[in-house]
């Protein structure tokens, strides 16, 4: 009986060490993720493939491995999302994000959808992998870091419209709020069509 109890205790200790190690990794990854990235996020909205995207991860210092930020997807001149203030075609979203057991979960506030980033390689300079959207589509992405509030050399490499308002230099689809309410955008400025975000390449 004592032998079985000792074996059970050793197993529980091993599981505890594994869990702490994984959660610590999540926090370190979140710090590596923090900052601005630019490149190809494999995004398509309403049939228009984005030329490139920028995404900013702002880590919340009071919450574990999570934070907020924004993503801006830029399109060619055939898309309907022209913004005169920047003389550019783009769709901007606030995001809420979290790293959980090595998976990066994204919530696009204005579009009210979720995505997950998996099987990725994350370093202080490059971020590549797969992003899965709610509709079941998936695409590869490759981003390069353009700004970091942290010391880039101190982190590890990880894994493998009328309805628009002005904020942070971009127009967003209505005001971005994180509570459950009715202010999430459902339409763009030109046609009233719902923004449908999916992978640029179906896999």
Question: What is the full per-residue pLDDT of the chain (203 aa) written as tens digits?
Answer: 545 545 544 444 444 444 444 468 899 999 999 999 999 999 999 999 999 999 999 999 888 999 999 999 999 999 999 998 889 999 999 999 999 999 999 999 999 999 999 999 998 889 999 999 988 899 999 999 999 887 554 344 444 433 333 344 444 433 333 233 222 332 333 334 578 888 786 44
- 174 phi-psi bin (left φ>0, alpha ψ -120 to 50, beta other): left
Q: 2-199 has which CATH code?
A: 2.40.128
Element (H, E) at 105: strand 103-108
Q: Residue 127's pLDDT is what? A: 94
**C-alpha closest to that of 103 among 115, 93, 92:** 115
Whole-angstrom distance, CA of residue 121 vs CA of residue 113: 24
Q: Residue 201's pLDDT is what? A: 61
* pTM of the predicted structure, to 2 decimals: 0.71
The ranges assigned to domains in the chain are: 2-199
Q: What are phi and psi of 51, to 5 degrees?
A: -70, -45
Whole-angstrom distance, CA of residue 57 vs CA of residue 27: 13
Q: Residue 61's pLDDT is what? A: 87
Q: 184 with 70: CB under 8 angstroms? A: no
Q: Residue 163's pLDDT is what? A: 34
pLDDT digits (tens, 9 = 90+) for 135-178: 889 999 999 999 988 755 434 444 443 333 334 444 443 333 32
């Amino acid at each position: 009986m004592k032998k079985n109890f000792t074996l059970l205790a050793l197993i529980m200790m091993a599981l505890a060490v594994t869990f702490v190690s994984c959660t610590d990794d999540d926090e370190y990854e979140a710090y590596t993720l923090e900052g601005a990235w630019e490149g190809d996020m494999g995004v398509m909205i309403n049939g228009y493939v984005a030329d490139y995207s920028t995404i900013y991860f702002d880590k919340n210092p009071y919450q574990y491995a999570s934070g907020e930020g924004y993503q801006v997807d830029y399109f060619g001149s055939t898309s309907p999302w022209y913004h005169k203030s920047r003389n550019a075609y783009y769709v901007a979203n606030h995001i809420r994000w979290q790293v959980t057991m090595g998976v990066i979960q994204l919530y696009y506030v204005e579009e009210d959808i979720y995505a997950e980033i998996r099987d990725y390689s994350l370093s202080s300079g490059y971020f590549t992998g797969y992003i899965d959207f709610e509709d079941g589509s998936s695409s590869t992405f490759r981003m390069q870091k353009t700004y970091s509030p942290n010391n880039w050399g101190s982190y590890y490499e990880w894994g493998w419209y009328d309805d628009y308002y002005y904020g942070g230099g971009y127009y967003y689809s209505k005001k971005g709020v994180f509570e459950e309410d009715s202010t999430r955008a459902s339409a763009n400025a030109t046609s009233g069509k719902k923004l449908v975000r999916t992978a640029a390449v179906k896999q």
